[in-house]
């Protein structure tokens, strides 16, 4: 009796999207960064676009996959290999205490955490490859943030008036507030606590500014 070949497992929705995520990671990009580099709408590969409003699975188009492969100089064979890779450890981001972050060697000149002696936390659903987390200590940030709250920040995300930001001064002071105004000469920061005065810093006093993207309270 002739034997039928063993049925091969079907390609799944999750496998294809996971392969696109791995393609982006291999190129040092976020999902939105890969879409931009591919000449697509920045939200094309975002997690929010993978399921329709009525709960149906939305698959990436062959055209979008082809453009992503061309943008990363990858072959279809390499993409197939990415599809076949097993599940990876959930992505994590660096986690530092706010007091620890004030140390002179905690960050590099661009505002990225430096060194390897730091904790990590699972990455929330924020599409940003450059983010890290800071844990609030004490009650100086109340009522906006309390002791133990965690905020996610990114030193590369564009900052606009009204955004909540973390500022580190050249003297090592860490502060959190709402950006009121920033010019070539000054940075004005509105306090999150109405009982505290706003701050105005000379540009030379500011080591770096990072936008707050997300908070866990």
Domain that includes residue 68, residue range: 13-84
Range scoring the smallest mean pLDDT among 71-80, 113-122, 132-141, 191-200: 113-122
Edge-to-edge strands, sheet with 174-182: 119-122, 92-97, 132-135, 150-154, 206-216, 164-169, 174-182, 186-190, 199-202
pLDDT range class, residue 200, cuts 50, 70, 90:
very high
Check whether residue 42 and residue 140 sit in a common domain. Answer: no
0.75 exceeded by pTM: no
Q: Is 4 part of a structural domain of the chain?
A: no
Instruction: Report the CATH number at residue 212.
Output: 2.10.109.10
DSSP letter for each residue of the chain: -PPPPPPPPPP-HHHHHHHHHHHHHHTT--HHHHHHHTTS-TTTT-GGGSB-TTS-B-PPPHHHHHHHHHHTT--HHHHHHHHHS-PPPPPEEEEEEHHHHTSTTSB-TTS-B-SS--EEEE--S---TT-EEEE--SSTTTTTS-TT-EEEEESSS---TT-EEEEEETTS-EEEEEEEEE-SSEEEEE-SSTTS--EEEEGGGEEEEEEEEEEE-
Check whether residue 99 and residue 204 sit in a common domain. Answer: yes
Task: Report pLDDT digits (tens) over 80-136.
Answer: 888 876 555 556 777 777 777 767 667 776 676 765 545 666 555 555 566 788 888
Instruction: Report the CATH number at residue 49.
Output: 1.10.260.40
Whether the per-residue pLDDT at 215 is higher than 70: the answer is yes
Q: Is 72 part of a structural domain of the chain?
A: yes
């Amino acid at each position: 009796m002739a034997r039928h070949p063993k049925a091969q497992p079907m390609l799944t929705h999750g496998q294809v999207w996971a392969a696109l995520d791995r393609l982006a990671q291999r190129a040092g990009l976020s999902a939105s960064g890969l879409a931009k580099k591919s000449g697509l709408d920045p939200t094309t590969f975002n997690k929010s676009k993978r399921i329709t409003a009525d709960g149906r699975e939305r698959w990436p188009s062959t055209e979008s996959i082809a453009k992503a492969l061309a943008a990363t100089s990858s072959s279809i064979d390499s993409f197939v290999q990415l599809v076949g890779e097993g599940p990876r450890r959930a992505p994590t981001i660096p986690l530092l205490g706010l007091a620890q972050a004030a140390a002179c060697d905690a960050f590099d000149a661009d505002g990225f955490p430096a060194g390897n002696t730091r904790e990590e936390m699972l990455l929330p659903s924020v599409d940003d490859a450059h983010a890290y987390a800071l844990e609030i200590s004490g009650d100086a940030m109340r009522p906006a943030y309390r002791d133990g709250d965690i905020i996610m920040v990114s030193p590369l995300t564009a900052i606009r008036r009204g955004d909540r930001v973390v500022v580190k001064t050249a003297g090592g002071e860490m502060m959190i507030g709402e950006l009121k105004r920033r010019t070539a000469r000054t940075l004005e920061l509105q306090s999150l606590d109405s009982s505290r005065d706003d701050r105005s810093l000379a540009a030379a006093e500011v080591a770096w500014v990072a936008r707050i993207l997300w908070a866990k309270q």
